[in-house]
Chain A
């Protein structure tokens, strides 16, 4: 009985927030409520099967509808998806194997550039024959290819440094990310590989192979309408695949070996776990996820340049994993969603609100301090520009007060 009640309550919550978001397409609050309904589904005490169905309803049906009404929501959802996928990849490295990787964004960049170079006229610069850009159908080939390339670079980087202690690894990965960025920034000569800081564009988008099918049913959409939804579903399915793979890995021999290494490397080695090989594997798996996401990112953005792959991004992803709880899949998802929403919506919203206040010239009267005209608020004070501060605070506070994260894994790491 209780579960039926909970289910009805949930449905009501989902639908009401959905309707709210439809009625007030500009309202940030309504969209936040809608996002929160997903969390409510996760926490509610109903059957697993029902949960899955409800989640599918929200993600597969209601979200695209909202996206049609306000395209920005879909954009946010895609961003969230990209970061969820990245966070899941980093979660394997940091959460399962316990290796701090501060250069995760390097693999992401490698994936993005892999498709960007061959999926745009860029490759004509060094391969004669005018073969490029490759046709959109190659996108999926490169998606698979990027998994291999990511794993390869991960292994190459891991080989020399994985024998070292954890903190050295952190620095070396950081340095590696900087090297990748410097290379990408400067490889426009002697051979123009990456077009340097000017970036690459236009990058071919994935094929709309289902468009004839839609027209056959009688639905006609323009490409501009279709692409956001298409990318949304692409990233959604990618996240699903990653979640599945991670879950299977977590409970496998490999996953248990990883956790053994995290808890006590010496003991794990004594038990016959091939430590270096397992670490390398974890490193490679995380890297391959990141580089596959990178391919998708490149295709979605149409334009990429080195600015998208700074140290900042690495730290952002790290903050997501830590906020959600290292080593926990739902945690990584929640953390990525939370931080992205914070970044894209809350901080921006706050900035807009402050700007509004500034322009309206409202006067804030504080007891004891006298009144203060808000129009005097310096223009530099804009929350959206201080995301580093927010990330930094998240990291410190989480480490001090709740190192296991918001949604810790079922079996906690040993202290």
Chain B
């Protein structure tokens, strides 16, 4: 889960060296689009008749497209005018965008459904458990998240390293000026990067919604922070690193949640898992600021 969101951060950071604070809202937007599509299907009475795979595909694709387009629009409105300016300026604008989107989404949902806490309609297929051995069952929806994360990683890796557009993205990441001299349409490539990042965020959002089945406009903040931690952990700007970081952070948190209380005799319980995640971030930044797999980040562009 974190791995998927972290991919979006890494995508944008790798190219622009810029933390897209609004990414967590793009992610929530994806979750909301997902729930809206499901609700529409439900009210049309199609939810029970269509094959679950078709529904899933439909939801994911709409979520990805809408989030991707939203991320592009965001880039056009809030970031592009600021490119080349001081880094702080773009960062602050991103925070502003994040807040604006949160309440914008809330306003929209309030007017549309008169509430902004939305429940995912439950799909029987996702609630099933997959028996592995006698004592071990895996919920289908968890499997879905893991498989999607790995597939996305593979797809993204291929896209960035083996297609023409991916080459353009890497060129812009390395040196925008030279890339533009070589005939790469820099602005379009940046917009494309935002689209891809946003689409990944949307995908993560839909899965998040299916997994936790309750979304509200503010639910993106903590996952967003943790995904960033994951991206830093794996080495920001590095695609496999993001996935590795996401998985490690997820494991660490799960362990913290279950064993912290045992290790400290019940003094510190599962409620400290967020603290653990942030402590990891701080420790990583102190001892290995480039992350576990990181080497691609350029230094010294103030």
A interface with B by C-beta (< 8 Å): 98, 100, 102, 160-161, 164, 166-168, 170-172, 174-176, 178-179, 182-183, 185-186, 189-190, 264-266, 311, 315, 318-319, 322, 378-381, 386-389, 391-397, 399-400, 403, 413, 415
Question: CB-CB < 8 A to B82: which residues of A?
Answer: 399-400
Residues on B lying within 8 angstroms of A by beta carbon are: 18-19, 77-78, 81-82, 85-93, 95-104, 106-107, 110-111, 114-116, 221, 225, 228-229, 232, 266-268, 271-272, 274-275, 278-279, 281-282, 285-286, 289, 302
Q: Which residue of A lies closest to B302 (CB)?
A: A265
Query: Whole-angstrom distance between the alpha carbons of A186 and B266 in the complex?
Result: 13
Q: How far is the CA of A174 from the CA of B101 in the complex (A)?
A: 19
What is the CA–CA distance of A129 and B54 in the complex, to the nearest angstrom? 69
Contact B91 A100 (CB under 8 A): yes
| Contact between chains at A389 and B107 (CB < 8 Å) | yes
Collect the chain B residues with CB atoms within 8 Å of residue A160's CB: 282, 285-286
- Inter-subunit contact B78/A400 (CB<8 Å): yes
Q: What are 20 A-B interface contacts by the 8 Å CB criterion?
A: A100-B88, A160-B285, A170-B19, A171-B225, A175-B281, A175-B282, A189-B267, A266-B302, A378-B110, A380-B110, A389-B104, A392-B98, A396-B93, A396-B100, A399-B90, A399-B96, A400-B78, A400-B93, A403-B85, A413-B86
Q: How far is the CA of A183 from the CA of B274 in the complex (A)?
A: 10
| Contacts A175-B281, A182-B274, A400-B81 given; does A392 touch B107 at CB 8 Å | no
Complex Cα gap A167–B95 (Å): 12
Q: Could you say which residues of chain B place their CB within 8 Å of the CB of A161?
A: 282, 285-286
Nearest neighbor of B103 in chain A, beta-carbon distance? A389
* Closest CB in chain A relative to B286 CB, distance in Å: 4
- The smallest beta-carbon distance between A164 and chain B, in angstroms, is 6
- Of B87, B267, B281, the residue contacting A172 (CB under 8 A) is B281
CA distance A179 to B222 in the complex (A): 12
Please give, as numbers and ranges, the residues of chain A lying within 8 Å of B104 by CB-CB distance.
389
Q: How far is the CA of A187 from the CA of B144 in the complex (A)?
A: 37
Contacts of A176 in B (CB 8 A): 278, 282
A378 touches B96 (CB 8 A): no
Residue with the highest number of chain B CB atoms closer than 10 Å, among A264, A392, A400: A392
Asked if A311 contacts B278 (CB within 8 A), the reply is no
Name the A residues within 8 Å of B282 (CB-CB). Answer: 160-161, 172, 175-176
- Decide if B274 touches A399 in the complex (CB within 8 Å): no
**Supplied contacts A166-B88, A392-B102, A395-B97, 17 more A-B pairs, CB within 8 Å:** A100-B91, A161-B286, A167-B19, A168-B232, A171-B19, A174-B225, A178-B225, A179-B274, A182-B275, A190-B266, A315-B95, A378-B111, A379-B114, A392-B96, A396-B96, A397-B96, A413-B86
